[in-house]
Amino acid sequence: MSLKEQIEEANKKAVERMMEAEPYLVDTKLAKDAIPGFREDMLLHAGPPITWERASGPMKGAIIGALIYEGKASNEEEAIKLVERGEVILKPNHEVGSVGPMAGIVSANMPVYIIEDKKFGIRAFGNYNEGIGKVLRYGAYDKEVLSRLKWMRDELYPTMKAALDEARKDKGGINFKAIIQQALHMGDECHNRYVAATSKFMNEIAPYLVKADVPKDAFNRVWDFMKNNNFFTLNIGMASAKAMTLAAHNIKYSTIVTVLTRNGTDAGIWVSGLGNRWFTAPSPVPKGVFFPGFTQDDANPDLGDSSITETAGFGGFAMAAAPAVVSWVGGSVEFAVENTKNMYNITYAKHKYFTIPYLSFQGTPTGVDIRLVLKTGITPTINTGIAHKKAGVGQVGAGIVKFPFELFKDAFKAYVETYGA
């Protein structure tokens, strides 16, 4: 069999597995009890590997906040000294099957969702969503941020666990792939718009919250938190996408991208046939719409694991399904449609199950192929939140960003060195 035929066979297998994966939300636990190999002195973060010295403002802010939340430091100065002395291990989420938006920080006593792929038996993890604005994932860490995180651990987490225990007993968990499918037909693209997905999830979880006999006051607070946070299910969608892309990963000869991510300093990718080898380039600064009082000059280079959604075939690649998202990230309805159409030029397939009504129910662009990126010069274009470049401020807007071409060029060079040409 020629190399070309081997690549074709491998890519077909990778994308088929990505599309056929069946991610279910099955449980929630504290990170130290859920994620294999997690250590008390470890912080997981978004993007490729990063050191404290190279970390951006919002990444540093999130690290500081997590150390105070964990009780390892009582203030900013103590937290910084801990990291500078090398007493904190910084590790990418992706290397342990986890994902987190923006800074993506996960510490030992933060609750995480557990996603189980019923088709291939793969597990993936994702942290909880705090809402928008002044939140840890955007680098804020004041008393309000820390109080919310503690409430999420002390009340939201046990409430969700009780409900998911009931859902698991009833039907094996909550089928989040089905929620994504439905949400794409209801105006979401499931990266920066989760209005429909969160509503569908609330419909699914409600009877289990009732069956779990959660205390009424806790039920009300949890319900209000979900109702007032359209992004509540973002992290569940991301973990589901991680499970899908893990199903496509480590397939010999495959040129399909299985990780697209950023950490506020670097952007990085993985390619299925090249395993867990990172290819990195400077992270670009998103252009977008800013909250009152902020401008483009405040924007940090892009960060977050949330582009795992585009990697799996939805998110920004499905913007044609969600024209209303442009009111959040900028651009126009025409741009949203055009971006989806452009992404077909660099992807291997149209998704079997994720479809776009406006495009006559075509499947979404799925399976970025490094060869097609090099051939066309088109790079993955996603939508994203925008963090302030200074630690402690938080989210200042949302926008659009393109992955650097160098990532795919370097990955293709490594592919040729590995497999020949």
Q: Which residue has the tokens 């997905």?
A: 197
- 19 pLDDT higher than 90: yes
Each residue of 234-262: pLDDT tens digit?
A: 999 999 999 999 999 999 999 999 999 99
Give percent above pLDDT 90 in the chain. 97
d(CA 198, CA 239): 15
| Widest pairwise Cα distance in the chain | 65
* Contact predicate 392/61, CB 8 Å: yes
Rounded average pLDDT over 401-405: 97
| Token pair belonging to 394 | 């938080």
Residues of the chain with CATH 3.90.1700.10: 250-419
Rounded average pLDDT over 363-384: 97
Rounded average pLDDT over 355-365: 97
Each residue of 75-122: pLDDT tens digit?
A: 999 999 999 999 999 999 999 999 999 999 999 999 999 999 999 999
Rounded average pLDDT over 390-403: 94
d(CA 242, CA 91): 17
Contacts of 295 (CB under 8 A, 6+ apart): none
| Token pair belonging to 168 | 């698991």
d(CA 187, CA 321): 6
Closest CA to 37 of 120, 117, 108: 108
Beta strand 123-127 with 98-99 is: parallel
Q: Quote the mean pLDDT of the chain.
A: 97
Q: What is the pLDDT of residue 213?
A: 87
CA-angle at 408, arms to 281 and 102, nearest 5°:
50
d(CA 199, CA 256): 33
- 355 pLDDT higher than 90: yes
Each residue of 24-36: pLDDT tens digit?
A: 999 999 999 999 9
- 62 pLDDT higher than 90: yes
Question: Nearest 5°: phi and psi at 291?
Answer: -65, 155
Residues of the chain with CATH 3.90.1710.10: 25-236
CA-angle at 354, arms to 94 and 118, nearest 5°:
55
d(CA 223, CA 200): 13
Q: Report, at the CATH architecture level, how domain 250-419 is classified.
A: Alpha-Beta Complex (3.90)
| Token pair belonging to 116 | 């189980």
Element containing residue 176 per DSSP (H, E): helix 176-184
Each residue of 40-60: pLDDT tens digit?
A: 999 999 999 999 999 999 999
What band does 328 get if pLDDT is binned at 50, 70 and 90?
confident
Q: What is the pLDDT of residue 1?
A: 87
Question: Nearest 5°: phi and psi at 86?
Answer: 80, 20
CA dihedral (138, 144, 149, 154) in degrees, to 10, reads -170
Each residue of 289-321: pLDDT tens digit?
A: 999 999 999 999 999 999 999 999 999 999 999
- 421 pLDDT higher than 70: no
The SS3 assignment for 255 reads coil
Closest CA to 195 of 162, 168, 230: 230
What band does 331 get if pLDDT is binned at 50, 70 and 90?
confident
d(CA 320, CA 314): 10
- 7 pLDDT higher than 80: yes
Q: What is the pLDDT of residue 352?
A: 98
Q: What is the CATH number of domain 25-236?
A: 3.90.1710.10
CB-count burial class (<10 Å; 0-12, 13-18, 19+) for 75: exposed
